[in-house]
Every structure is written in C-alpha cells, then in structure tokens.
Structure 1
Amino acid sequence: MVENIVFDLGRVLIQWDPYGYMLKVFGEPVATFLNKNVFETKEWNLLDKGEIEEEQLWQMMVERFPHYAEYIEHMKENVLRLLLPIEENIRFLPQLKAMGYKLYVLSNFGKNGFNYIHKTYDFFKYFNGMVISSHVNQIKPDPQIFTTLIDKYNVEPTKTLFIDDKAENIRTAQELGFKVIHLEDNSNLKDQLERLLGKKFSC
C-alpha cells in the first residue's frame, strides 16, 4: 500500500528543455554543441551537486568556448525562464494531498534554479519535505541521496511511489525497494497514477 509519493522536479513538475529552446533560438548546430558541452557535462552535475556556483559555471564555459560566448551569455540570462510549471501534473498535488498521501521532492537542482522556482511557484506548499541535490551535496542516481530522504523523513521505500523521468534514477529507486513511475512522457502521469494507486482523479 502506497503511503508516500516522491516527485522529481525537472520534466515531471517543472519544464526543462534547454535543447528545444536553443534549437528555436540558435538553430541546430549551436543547439547541439551547447547541449553536449554545457548542459550535459560533469560541470553541470557539479552545479546540481552544489559543488560549484552558477556564476562559476557560466564563466568557465565562456572561457572554454569563446567562439560561443554570445550564445552562452544568452543562456545564462534566459535559463531561469525555461523553468515553467507543468500544470497538467501539478494539478494532481492537491488531490493527492487530500487523499492522505504524504508528498516529497527528491530532485537534482542547482541552488539558484531551485531558489527561483521555490519563490516563484506556490505548489511547494503541498509537500511534506524535500531533498534537493545542491543542498545536501549528493546527486541522483547515487543511492546516498535516496537514503538521505529515507532517513530524514522516515520514509519506508516499500510504501513509497517514486516518480522520475530518468531511467538511471528509476533503477536506483527500484533497487532500494521503491515502487516507481518512469515518466518518459509527462502527459501520461494521470493514467499511471490511477493504475498504480487504484484511484480516480477529477481532472
């Protein structure tokens, strides 16, 4: 029986598609280069882990790729605007709360980005607790950050549903005993929640 539901943020409750944005604004060659060399890098993971600051990361990238400086500066100035709520999924939070589930966040997120969404959007009021990677210097899919959630909030994995968009995070959760939803397409959360929880949602 599920008592707790743990949500990832990016691509589950918050839009995160820098590649799609860059494709529209810069075109395919620049978008592909920046996606590979800025957003899918060990440095970005260090940002999420709280080991470097965002200003450091952008400066590092400008120095490393001076021919792409104007594009990198553009992303630095606009990246927070990409962090929009996925309303079709957020609408389930008050219903889940009213059904008696305890709700948690377990997410890889840099400090600056998380501070922005936490101050901007009010859906965080539905959560009983959160573990954010940059706040604890741990990162998914490392089991350690899952253990931090388990210990901090006394969460029993076998009674907990974990929702994430990345296969490697889902694998770790399954190994630890969580029930899981691998949300490859954020538009089908309703169907998967109803199937796993045996509940019907009004919207």
Structure 2
Amino acid sequence: MSIEAVIFDIGNVLIEWQPERHYDSVIGQDRRRAMFAEVDLHEMNNRVDLGHPFKETIYQTAEAYPAWRDEIRLWHDEWIKMASPAIDHSVHLLRTLRAKAIPVFALTNFGVESFAYAETQYPFLAEFDRRYVSGHMEVVKPDVTIYERVEQDCGVAPANLLFADDRSDNIAVANERGWQTHLFEHPKGWADRLVREGLLSEAEARP
C-alpha cells in the first residue's frame, strides 16, 4: 500500500528522552537507582502526559517523598536537560519529507505545558502538518483510543499510515490497527525505511 502520511513519535525519535542519564550525572547512578526503586517517576510523568498540571504533579510527588524532594523537583526544574538533545538526522528527515509535500504528523506522549516549553527550544515541533499530543487528548499510547482518534481526525486509511516509535508496545497497537510501522532504534534505520518505501531518495535521506 502506498504511504499517504508519515507519523513521528517525538521522545527518542526526534528528541532524546533520558531522565535516568540526567539523574546519573547529577546525583550519581547509585542514588538514582535507589530513588527510582522507591518512587515511580515514570508513572508520575505518565500523569503529566495525560494532561495533569506539569509543575503541580511533580511537586506534589516530591512532597510525598521528602527524602527525595529536591531530586524529584528536578524532573520539572531541569526537564529540558532530560529532553535533549535533538536527534538531528531525524529532524532532517522530517523536514525533507515536508519539503516534498508528504504529510507528516506527530503522535506523542507529552504533557501540555512541557510540550509548550519544548516548542520554545525546538522549532521543528511547530512544523508538523498535524500534531497529536497526549496531554491535549487526555489519552496516552498505547491506549487504542489515541490511535482511533488519529485515524478519525486525519482521514487517512490505516494501511496508508507509516508510524515510527521507539517503544514496541506502541508499535504493536498500531500494527493491530493496520498501520505500517517502524520500530525506531536509530535514525539511519528510519532513513533506510523511508528510502525503501520510495518516500525519499538515498541522497535526500542523508543528513
């Protein structure tokens, strides 16, 4: 089936998202492991991705774990250091697809306020033809509802969508919906897939 639109996840596809790496650099690996074992920070972040207030959600969690209060607050205060740097080759692919008038969408688990902040740091986040941001939709991948709502809104048949995401559970649900998918591991592999699909030439896909 021919591809009519390409869908990018954002975290670890267009922007590196590595909270553990940042905490390791700030408090050391041993303390980071102890904190993550005691506090489910990814569940906290999932609530932000569902549309809960960014700072309030994190600071309330910090107050619930006073031994880790300052460290947990870093999830908000130094968030951009966890969501960095941009993956330049992937950004190049996004922009090259759009320059060829191929519709490009974003489908991302991202909070409302954190996404607005990220836009001030990464201009390419404003360059999608359509953006499906979980915080605004109040549903996160891999809940099937978010995929259904993308289909309904964009009007493209599932078989004509090509979706790149770094998480296999997100990819699995898209596959069940009939989407074409790519499990993102590195930008070169994604570039190669776009070439195989005939969307980009080898020269266009190079950074």
TM superposition score normalised by structure 1:
0.90
Q: Give the secondary structure class of the aligned counterpart of 1:139.
A: coil
Q: Who is 1:40 aligned against?
A: 42
User: How far apart are the structure 1 equivalents of 2:82 and 2:102?
Assistant: 29
User: How far apart are the structure 2 equivalents of 1:165 and 1:127?
Assistant: 19
Gaps of 5+ in 1: none
Alignment check: 8 A CA contact 2:4 2:156 kept: no
User: How far apart are the structure 1 equivalents of 2:175 and 2:166?
Assistant: 14
Q: Who is 1:128 aligned against?
A: 129
Distance 1:44 1:124, change over 3 A: closer
Work out the percentage of aligned pairs sharing the same amino acid. 25
Q: Who is 1:12 aligned against?
A: 13
Pairing 1:42-191 to 2, within 5 Å after superposition? 43-50=44-51, 52-84=52-84, 85-191=86-192
CA distances 1:84-104 after superposition (whole Å, capped 9, x unpaired): 321121011221113331100
User: How far apart are the structure 1 equivalents of 2:125 and 2:76?
Assistant: 25
AA aligned opposite 2:3: V
Distance 1:194 1:39, change over 3 A: farther
Distance 1:23 1:198, change over 3 A: same
User: How far apart are the structure 1 equivalents of 2:73 and 2:42?
Assistant: 17
User: How far apart are the structure 2 equivalents of 1:3 and 1:159?
Assistant: 5
AA aligned opposite 2:25: K
Shift in Å at residue 198 of structure 1?
A: 6.0
Shift in Å at residue 122 of structure 1?
A: 1.9
Alignment check: 8 A CA contact 1:162 1:180 kept: yes
CA distances 1:12-40 after superposition (whole Å, capped 9, x unpaired): 01111010111122111222234452432
110-119 vs 70-79, which moves further: 70-79
Gaps of 5+ in 2: none
Alignment check: 8 A CA contact 1:14 1:83 kept: yes
Alignment check: 8 A CA contact 1:158 1:177 kept: yes
Alignment check: 8 A CA contact 2:151 2:158 kept: yes
Alignment check: 8 A CA contact 2:6 2:163 kept: yes
Q: Give the secondary structure class of the aligned counterpart of 1:90.
A: helix
Alignment check: 8 A CA contact 1:2 1:197 kept: no
Shift in Å at residue 125 of structure 1?
A: 4.2
Q: Give the secondary structure class of the aligned counterpart of 2:131.
A: strand
User: How far apart are the structure 2 equivalents of 1:198 and 1:98?
Assistant: 11
Give the paired residue count. Answer: 201
User: How far apart are the structure 1 equivalents of 2:137 and 2:172?
Assistant: 21
AA aligned opposite 1:39: L
User: How far apart are the structure 2 equivalents of 1:159 and 1:121?
Assistant: 28
Q: Give the secondary structure class of the aligned counterpart of 1:63.
A: helix
Alignment check: 8 A CA contact 2:5 2:160 kept: yes
Alignment check: 8 A CA contact 1:166 1:184 kept: no
Distance 1:27 1:187, change over 3 A: farther
Q: Give the secondary structure class of the aligned counterpart of 2:11.
A: coil
User: How far apart are the structure 1 equivalents of 2:165 and 2:109?
Assistant: 11
TM superposition score normalised by structure 2:
0.88
* Structure 1 runs of 4+ with >4 Å offset: none
AA aligned opposite 2:141: K
